[in-house]
Structure 1
Amino acid sequence: MLVPGLTAGHYEDCPVHKIAAADKNKFVLLCDGKTLPFVSVIEIFDKDGKTPPNTHADAHEYFYVIAGEGIAAVDGKSIPIKPGSFFVVDPGHVHEVHNTGEGRLYVLTTMVPDEKFSDLILAGPKASLDEEDLRVLRGV
């Protein structure tokens, strides 16, 4: 939708990618760093999926759990996460997210600034949303 001063869309119209084909997580790219000065994604972790330990030089990363259960680890310290949990990782801190639940873990993640994260996602193989993903994201 084109309205001056407004960026809008719907997740079903957004690209879905993995960073690498073997990954157990995929990203719905809601906003990318070319359009806005940040990246916002819905990250979907399969059972036992996790991010690799990573850090960002300048970016703050905000996470909000939509569905599922897991653990967020920052600098080696872990906290449990579940629907409604949120956490923010400041620049320079090593962090990971692990799906420890029986089903998938759905996390809305926003990183400011983008630090080319959206480019990394778009460079990976395309993925798709299945009926389970659509059911969760529709709130059914």
Structure 2
Amino acid sequence: MPASWLPAGCQEIALPRMLPRLLRPEDLHGFRFSEGDHCRLALLSSPRDADRRDDVGPASTPLTIFVEVHDPMEQVPLHAHHNAAELYFVLRGQVIFHVGDRTITACGGDFVVVPEDAIHDLQNPGPGRLYLLTVLSRDAGFSEMLERGIPAPLDDEDLEVLRSL
């Protein structure tokens, strides 16, 4: 790309390239962190995708992107991500976030940002399932921990919802 699009005084940086790829809902692998969890998470991209690159070197991004599926009345306990913001795009359903002393209610089409180190939880008040597209700005082992979890395949309802978006 020509450097003419850059603002004055800025220099283009060559980042390691990742091969383009296409993921369809059927390609996703759902996981739960533990036996008691009901939430299913399916990775879309993580720093480990560097294995799919056409050159060598460190991964080009520390981001992790995943789909979350929450059953009605399900609640994710209070937690925080050290040095990592969490960005949520509500694909379908309604969600209630508690971030510090704030309560945020969001529904399909809304975008919610949880700042770095912020203690937060989320709840699906129902009546249907909640679908989130989530970006974690710094993986810090999150994707590896998830992939060591319990396989929990996305079901027909999940696949239908994801195909319809």
Answering whether residue 146 of structure 2 is matched by residue 132 of structure 1, we say no
Q: Which moved more, 1:103-112 or 1:29-38?
A: 29-38
Q: What is the CA-CA distance between 1:96 and the residue it aligns to?
A: 1.1
Residue matched to 1:55: 80
Partner SS state of residue 115, structure 1: coil
Q: 2: CA distance between counterparts of 1:68 and 1:7? A: 30
Q: Which moved more, 1:75-84 or 1:105-114?
A: 75-84
Unaligned runs of 5+ in 1: none
Normalized per residue, which structure has more strand? 1
Residue matched to 1:70: 95
Residue matched to 1:6: 19
Normalized per residue, which structure has more helix? 2
Q: 2: CA distance between counterparts of 1:6 and 1:90? A: 30
Partner SS state of residue 27, structure 1: strand
TM-score under structure 2 length normalisation: 0.77
Structure 1 segments of 4+ aligned residues over 3 angstroms from their partners = 4-7
Residues 4-48 of structure 1: per-residue CA shift (max 9 Å, x gap): 543423142132101112212000111123224211100000111
Q: What is the CA-CA distance between 1:120 and the residue it aligns to?
A: 1.8
Q: 2: CA distance between counterparts of 1:108 and 1:23? A: 18
User: In the alignment, residue 69 of structure 1 is paired with which amino acid?
Assistant: Q
Residue matched to 2:66: 41
Q: 2: CA distance between counterparts of 1:56 and 1:8? A: 28
Q: Equivalent pairs: percent with the same residue?
A: 32
Answering whether residue 53 of structure 2 is matched by residue 28 of structure 1, we say no
Q: What is the CA-CA distance between 1:52 and the residue it aligns to?
A: 1.5
User: In the alignment, residue 111 of structure 1 is paired with which amino acid?
Assistant: L
Root mean square deviation of aligned Cα: 1.5
Partner SS state of residue 24, structure 1: coil
TM-score under structure 1 length normalisation: 0.90
Q: What is the CA-CA distance between 1:76 and the residue it aligns to?
A: 3.2
Structure with max Cα Rg: 2
Q: 2: CA distance between counterparts of 1:128 and 1:66? A: 19
Between Structure 1 and Structure 2, how many residues are aligned? 137
User: In the alignment, residue 20 of structure 1 is paired with which amino acid?
Assistant: S
Distance 1:37 1:7, change over 3 A: farther
User: In the alignment, residue 66 of structure 1 is paired with which amino acid?
Assistant: L
Q: 1: CA distance between counterparts of 2:142 and 2:76? A: 13
Partner SS state of residue 33, structure 2: coil
Q: 2: CA distance between counterparts of 1:114 and 1:22? A: 23
